[in-house]
């Protein structure tokens, strides 16, 4: 007895069960190093082997595959790339096991359409959205620009694990990984059985070609440097590079025009990363007028909010139009990446448009239960928003 009251045991058990039920955020998945890839030159920036996390499917999902590509920005020159070799953004030496949740979760009530699929998270250690391929390695820096080789090596390993028998497959990713899911979408489709249902899903990866607050083309110049540094041009979709300069083919708006594979675009119209780095980057805001606004959209002045509404309009114009195979969920949140965390993917208070959650929208689109092209009203109309970044 506790405190002399027999009923306290029952109270304690109820409390314990409640705590257990709350611990549903995710499950730990070990790291797999692809040692065989090293001989192919498919390595991280520092020359270490690439890596991924794999949770096998079960039940009706044993022949279904969800491949998720990790995000983490890009490096555009030797100095930036060298800095990454000291952490998991450029070296597998610093990688550990990860917890899977959200779209990678394994509980039916929290991830009803994908819970029992084979689930893979590809670690991102090349800084080029898996597009680089330069043979030469400068001994002074020992940098390996081999993102495209990493992509191919991991695909080979997954196909040998059973992905070559996939009945359903979804290539997804967040941020730079969301961009990668667009850039590699058609080639992913081509690897899988002809009769398989194969689609792609970009979360916070729809970066737009826009000028910043000072009128400069900061992001265009940056992407041009990334493509040059990593030798990415030959690994970008030829359907785009045959029509545009290679650096423009880092912008989804130019790639999706000729994609063959169905795509779902999940993005905040006021994407926090894009506002901070494309629209109002610090070098273009020397007086730090945008500093507080970038940290918290609620602290934006009326003139800043008006400017953000202009950015939203530009973002919406960059989206593909009149394409029935394209699904969309464009909410009016100030956030970045919404599919990997349970609270934003599917929960009692997750973001919704017309009372539809992100998980329901993606599932309905993937299985063809309904056409989903949800575009939210302008900020601050949506009270369900989680205005924060989840990397």
pTM: 0.93
Domain for residue 336, yes or no?
yes
Distance CA 168, CA 196 (A): 6
CB atoms within 10 A of CB 155: 18
Is residue 175 among the annotated active site residues?
yes
Domain for residue 301, yes or no?
yes
Percent of the chain clearing pLDDT 90 (strictly above): 91
Contact 116, 57 (CB under 8 A): yes
Is residue 325 among the annotated active site residues?
no
Q: Which of 129, 175, 202, 232 is catalytic?
A: 175
Q: Which of 53, 68, 189, 336 is catalytic?
A: 336
Domain for residue 388, yes or no?
no
The CATH number linked to 68 is: 3.40.50
Amino acid 4: pLDDT: 38
Amino acid 350: pLDDT: 96
Does the pLDDT of residue 155 top 80, yes or no?
yes
Domain range for 354 is: 28-375
Q: What is the mean pLDDT of residues 369-387?
A: 95
For 86-89, the CB contacts below 8 A with 24+ separation are 88/123, 88/125, 89/124, 89/125, 89/127
Domain for residue 264, yes or no?
yes
Percent of the chain clearing pLDDT 70 (strictly above): 93
Q: Which of 271, 335, 350, 357 is catalytic?
A: 271
Domain for residue 143, yes or no?
yes
Domain for residue 385, yes or no?
no
Instruction: Measure the N-to-C terminal CA separation of the chain; round to a whole number of Å.
Output: 46
What is the number of structural domains in the chain? 1
Q: What is the mean pLDDT of residues 138-162?
A: 98
Q: What is the mean pLDDT of residues 49-76?
A: 98
CB atoms within 10 A of CB 352: 19
Amino acid 6: pLDDT: 39
Is residue 271 among the annotated active site residues?
yes
Distance CA 274, CA 261 (A): 26
Torsion over CA: 189, 128, 34, 265 (sign): negative
Domain for residue 169, yes or no?
yes
Q: Which of 148, 150, 189, 184 is nearest to 166 (CA)?
A: 189
Amino acid 25: pLDDT: 61
Domain for residue 193, yes or no?
yes
């Amino acid at each position: 007895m506790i405190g002399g009251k027999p009923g306290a045991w029952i109270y304690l058990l109820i409390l314990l069960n409640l705590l257990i039920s709350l611990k549903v955020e995710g499950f730990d998945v070990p790291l797999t190093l692809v040692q065989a890839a090293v001989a192919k030159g498919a390595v991280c920036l520092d020359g270490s082997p690439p890596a991924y996390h794999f949770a096998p499917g079960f039940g009706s999902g044993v022949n279904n595959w969800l491949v998720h590509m990790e995000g983490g920005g890009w490096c555009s020159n030797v100095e930036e790339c060298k800095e990454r070799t000291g952490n998991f953004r450029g070296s597998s030496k610093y990688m550990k096991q990860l917890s899977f949740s959200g779209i990678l979760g394994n509980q039916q009530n929290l991830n009803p359409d994908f819970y029992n699929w084979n689930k893979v998270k590809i670690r991102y250690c090349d800084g080029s959205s898996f597009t680089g391929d330069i043979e030469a390695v400068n001994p002074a820096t020992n940098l390996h620009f081999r993102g495209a080789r990493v992509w191919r090596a991991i695909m080979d390993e997954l196909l040998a694990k059973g992905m070559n028998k996939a009945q359903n497959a979804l290539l997804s990713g967040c941020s730079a990984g969301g961009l990668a899911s667009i850039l590699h979408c058609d080639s992913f489709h081509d690897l899988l059985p002809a009769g398989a249902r194969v689609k792609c899903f970009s979360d916070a990866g729809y970066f737009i070609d826009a000028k910043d607050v000072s009128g400069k083309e900061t992001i265009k110049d940056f992407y041009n440097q990334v493509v040059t540094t990593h030798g990415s041009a030959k690994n970008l979709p030829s359907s785009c590079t045959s029509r545009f300069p290679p650096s423009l083919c880092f912008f989804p708006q130019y790639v999706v025009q000729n994609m063959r594979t169905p795509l779902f675009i999940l993005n905040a119209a006021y994407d926090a990363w894009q506002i901070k780095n494309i629209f109002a980057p610090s070098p273009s805001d020397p007086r730090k007028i945008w500093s507080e606004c970038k940290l918290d959209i609620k602290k934006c002045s009326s003139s800043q909010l008006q400017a953000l509404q202009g950015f939203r309009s530009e973002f919406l114009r960059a989206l593909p139009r009149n394409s029935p195979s394209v699904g969309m969920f464009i909410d009016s949140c100030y956030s970045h990446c919404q599919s990997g965390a349970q609270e934003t993917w599917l929960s009692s208070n997750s973001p919704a448009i017309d009372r539809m959650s992100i998980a329901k929208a993606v599932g309905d689109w993937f299985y063809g239960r309904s056409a989903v092209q949800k575009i939210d009203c302008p900020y601050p109309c949506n009270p369900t928003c989680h205005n924060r970044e989840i990397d």
